[in-house]
Amino acid sequence: NNLNLNPLQRGGVLPVEARKALYEFSEGYSVCDYCAGRLDEISKPNIKGFLDDLANFINIDHARTVHGAREGKFAVMHALCKPGDTIVVDGNAHYTTHVAAERAGLNMVEVPNTDYPQYEIRPESYKEILEDLSDQGEEVSLVLLTHVDGNYGNLTDSSSIGQIAHNAGVPLLLNCAYSMGRMPIDAKKLNADFVVGSGHKSMAASGPIGVLGLKEEWADIILKRSDRHAVKELEMLGCTSRGAPVATLMASLPYVIERLKNWEEEVVSTRKFVDKMEQIEGVKQLGIRPTKHDLVRFETPILDKIAEKHPRRGFFLYEELKKRDIVGIKRGQTKWFKCSIYGFTQEQKDYIGESFTEIVDKYDKK
């Protein structure tokens, strides 16, 4: 009965079919009975056919499941780059981009955002960074872009940035952890050489599981096989997700494909929710306006003002929401918060917006 506003979880809610698969395939190696050495070639359950469907779903030539988007990013970095190479990343990149690059021994150059209040990543900024590095004689091995960032929900112009990268002779890795499965993704139209996604964050699967997609021209590098174990793909370490994660991702794909038909309605609903929230004194949406995604971040000085006088301090908001069966806002957080109403009914969305208004009205009069 809890209405969970955490953007990490809104796109990961399992449908009934996936919950059944979770029970049926709960043992760790439950998909491996008919394996001849390659997870991606198992036909019972039909993982091989599923990966073909997954590649078609995001319009890419090859798809593999990995343990999460971060593992997909690392696989590309490790296969494509040498320690000491330079890569270009956006200033809104998730921390997993940084740790993947650090683990691969790479030098990161960040493309800055536009700062408060939009924090936008613009194509011209990528162009300037790449040109500056070229003028300095610095070779760039990879460009990485966060399609939708986890701080502000900003949807970036991947198509233009991908073209800029290609003009500079550099491939583009697109991090779609907050977009693949929530909104339509066409990797080729987005000019992405590689895409990564998150099954448990945005594709209604039980995690941890991620998606790695790549164009044919990079298959020999990314899907290179072991010298000692000829059937095994090195960057996949032989096999990746087994059991419940891949079974639930498979079970959820038809549901995910169907729910994408409602994406434009989700964006419209989110914008209406933003309008409702901004009727509260001082509340302001940060990031690109109007938002183009379900994840939104609000600046909430009025809640912080209430917290200063409330006996429970910053915990009051969490507790007031919980009384109303609303969860997902972190304990003690009142200066700002991130949330998503993705997948809720209109009645639930209205109830959530009204609840915030009621809470402020309750305390702001005192």
Give, in words, the CATH class of 16-259. alpha beta
Instruction: Name the 3-class secondary structure at 114.
Output: coil
Structure tokens at 59: 């319009």
pLDDT on residue 42: 93
pLDDT per residue as tens digits for the range 218-244:
999 999 999 999 999 999 999 999 999
Q: What is the pTM of this model?
A: 0.96
Taking the C-alpha atoms of residue 224 and residue 233, their distance in angstroms, rounded to an integer, is 6
Spell out the domain ranges in the chain: 16-259, 262-364
Residues with pLDDT less than 50, the chain: none
pLDDT on residue 353: 97
Instruction: Name the 3-class secondary structure at 358.
Output: helix
Burial code of 315-349, b = ≥16 C-beta within 10 A, e = fewer? ebbbebbeebebebbeeebbeebbbbbbbbeeeeb
On the question of a common fold for 16-259 and 262-364, the answer reads: no
| Count of beta carbons in the 10 Å neighbourhood of residue 137 | 6
Residue 134 CA neighbour count, 13 Å, CB half: 11
Taking the C-alpha atoms of residue 244 and residue 235, their distance in angstroms, rounded to an integer, is 22
Backbone angles phi, psi at 185, to 5 degrees: -125, 125
Structure tokens at 32: 């491996």
pLDDT on residue 207: 84
Residue 143 CA neighbour count, 13 Å, CB half: 29
Q: Which helix (H) or strand (E) holds 57?
A: helix 47-58
Taking the C-alpha atoms of residue 114 and residue 35, their distance in angstroms, rounded to an integer, is 50
pLDDT on residue 365: 67
Taking the C-alpha atoms of residue 59 and residue 39, their distance in angstroms, rounded to an integer, is 21
CATH number assigned to the domain with residue range 262-364, chosen from the 4 options 3.40.30.10, 3.40.50.10190, 1.10.3720.10, 3.90.1150.10: 3.90.1150.10
Taking the C-alpha atoms of residue 139 and residue 124, their distance in angstroms, rounded to an integer, is 19
Strand order in the sheet with 210-214: 62-66, 210-214, 194-198, 172-175, 140-146, 86-90, 107-111
Cis peptide before 184 (omega within 30 of 0): no
